[in-house]
Structure 1
Amino acid sequence: MIQIHVLQGAALVWSAEDAREIRERFRLVGTLVGALARKPRQNTRLGLPLQLLPEEARLLAELGEAILVRSTETQPLAEGEELNQASEVEAYKQELEESYQEQQRLAGAERGALLARLADHIAEGRARRRQERGEAPGGADAGEDLGLLDSPFILPRGSMMVQLPTARCHSGRIERVDWTSPSPDWPHANCPAHEARYHVFRELWDRGYYLSGGSKFGGDFLVYPGDPLRFHAHYIALCCPPGAPLPLCALVAAARLGTSVKKTVLLCSPSPSGTVAFTSLQWSGLQ
């Protein structure tokens, strides 16, 4: 069962396996909003968590494939949980120490092999310098060469490679959130705007389309004929609840914007019976 963590209306998926299943099995795109551990100061490529649209999260919950949960980590830990957490910390420190010792052994072996390969070259260079200084062959430099090969190698702890955990071994304490009733963590339930958006989203999704947020093009959704990694959006969906006013200037602006980005504007109006009426708009201009 997919766990969707909700916080103040945002629906987040932290598991990489769940995020992959959501995209491949259910054709839901979402948006990656997390910083990458190796490149935290850029925003060109992002990572987990995957943030879902409220409509995407509700669809998964309605299909029975996901549950909405909230974290309760702010509550104090029980005595047994504190002991368990302390043992996990000690185990992690032990793993770090074992990793350091292994890295030091491997680095020392690599250093010894490198010095062995370069021993003749080092000896030639020192013999040449002794000859330039007019010193006799051998002497203290020979012992220095042997000491260089036999000296122990110490890997600075600041140079060791550390594996950064990206997932918990335990999910932590969570409680289920009822998506059918409004709450601080899920305020979308019974909201008229959300209901209208969801009916439009579900209708288009049932027809086999991929959908994503459409705010960057002034709409509610962008509608794709296939995976957005391979296709451009064909439609900009605008949700128009029955009886809601639609100013002419907004209608003209939407049509012209859609034409300028080579997309068709869809006016989507869900009815109380559950059906959705679609009207397409394209700006023809002066011919």
Structure 2
Amino acid sequence: MTSDPVVLLRVANQRAYVWDVDDAAILRSKHHICGILTGTLPHLSQQNVFLGVPLVLMPEEVVLLVEQGFAALVDDPEAHEAPSEDQLQQWDHQRKEFIKLHLAQTESKLSQEASSRSLSEEALRKRKEREERKALKAQIPSTDIQTPDFQAFADPSPASKTSTPIASASEVNPLTTLYPVILPAASDSFEWYNANRIYSTISSAKSAGIWSYPSTLFERARCGVFKGLWDQGYFMGGGIKFGGEYLVYPGDPLRYHSHFTATVIDSPTSALRPMEIVAHGRLGTATKKAHLLCGWDDEKQDVSYLSIEWSGFG
């Protein structure tokens, strides 16, 4: 189990989605679950390179997360309900307290800035006065034999000053001064679910009819192989482009290339043709990967691994 909050996976049409970016970050950093981003970014709807939420999870990822207690399934089409009057009042009270807290923090920060600004303005004023005195002394003719009134130059009257006075921090009108106040808000700050539509086990979700995976031997084998590799600390992604079920990464796919392409075999007695072994070996070598044949024993609930790599002999 984990100390992190349970992530709610929104299920619609037998597909699980993650709509909260914080939840997606938790799944990736804490649980080695990447998923696939499928949503377009604001103002960039015509590109397909950098995508955003929702995050779509593979069925094996969903089963693993729920069985480990990291996530729960939500019947998204039926779970949303209008909040009650008490919930609305509670939310409004929390929102106002949240705003008061951030306003107090902003006022404290502004007062500190005003204090430091007043000190810097005082130093600037003194420096300007010294520069003015030096400039006035430099205007005295060197051939003038009369004794000048240095006191007049040293202490000029306010009317003789031509510089524009600098407004102090106390002279700033708070009613006409604009201060930015940033109020961060979570994406689920106003969201309620019917508790009867949240399922913390795969069996309960199957009974409710919102989830059916795994339902066959091959699907159970995929889940077993996925969990076996996940237990060893690997990250998994879809491997259909490389002739297998999964791509196996030693770390986050944003930092590492995959080391293996994994193929799931649903039984220790399943037949495997020699040409398949040759094809997996050649394809793995061409893509700079080793190919894993992962055999699932449904009775023992165990996985065996066989690595194929093209030797190049002959």
What TM-score range do you get, normalising by the shorter chain? 0.5 to 0.7
- Tell me the distance in 2 between the aligned counterparts of 1:116 and 1:12: 55
Q: Which runs of 5+ in 1 are unaligned?
A: 35-39
Tell me if 1:282 matches 2:309.
yes
Q: What's the TM-score once normalised by structure 1's chain length?
A: 0.66
Which range moved further: 142-151 or 113-122? Answer: 142-151
Q: State the Cα distance separating 1:104 from its structure 2 match.
A: 2.6
Query: In the alignment, residue 145 of structure 1 is paired with which amino acid?
Result: P
1:12-91 paired onto structure 2 within 5 Å: 12=18, 28-31=31-34, 53-64=58-69, 66-69=71-74, 74-91=80-97
- Tell me the distance in 2 between the aligned counterparts of 1:113 and 1:214: 61
CA contact (8 A) 2:282 2:310 kept: yes
Residue 113 and residue 52 in structure 1: after superposition, are their counterparts in 2 closer, same or farther (change >3 A)? Answer: farther
Q: Name the structure 1 match of 2:281.
A: 255
The two structures, once aligned, show a CA RMSD in angstroms of 5.1
CA contact (8 A) 2:7 2:23 kept: no
Residue 164 and residue 239 in structure 1: after superposition, are their counterparts in 2 closer, same or farther (change >3 A)? Answer: same
Q: How many residues align?
A: 275
Q: State the Cα distance separating 1:47 from its structure 2 match.
A: 10
| CA radius of gyration, larger in | 2
Q: What's the TM-score once normalised by structure 2's chain length?
A: 0.62
Q: Name the structure 2 match of 1:195.
A: 220
Q: State the Cα distance separating 1:200 from its structure 2 match.
A: 1.5
Q: Name the structure 1 match of 2:112.
A: 106
Which range moved further: 120-129 or 54-63? Answer: 120-129
CA contact (8 A) 2:228 2:303 kept: yes
- Tell me the distance in 2 between the aligned counterparts of 1:266 and 1:16: 33
Query: In the alignment, residue 103 of structure 1 is paired with which amino acid?
Result: K
Query: In the alignment, residue 239 of structure 1 is paired with which amino acid?
Result: V
Q: Secondary structure at the match of 2:263?
A: strand
Q: Name the structure 1 match of 2:158.
A: 139
Q: Secondary structure at the match of 1:267?
A: strand
- Tell me the distance in 2 between the aligned counterparts of 1:82 and 1:247: 66
Q: State the Cα distance separating 1:58 from its structure 2 match.
A: 1.8
Q: Which runs of 5+ in 2 are unaligned?
A: 38-42, 141-152
1:89-168 paired onto structure 2 within 5 Å: 89-125=95-131, 137-140=156-159, 141=161, 145=165, 147-148=167-168, 150-152=170-172, 154=174, 156-157=177-178, 159-160=179-180, 162-166=182-186
Query: In the alignment, residue 122 of structure 1 is paired with which amino acid?
Result: K
- Tell me the distance in 2 between the aligned counterparts of 1:95 and 1:73: 32
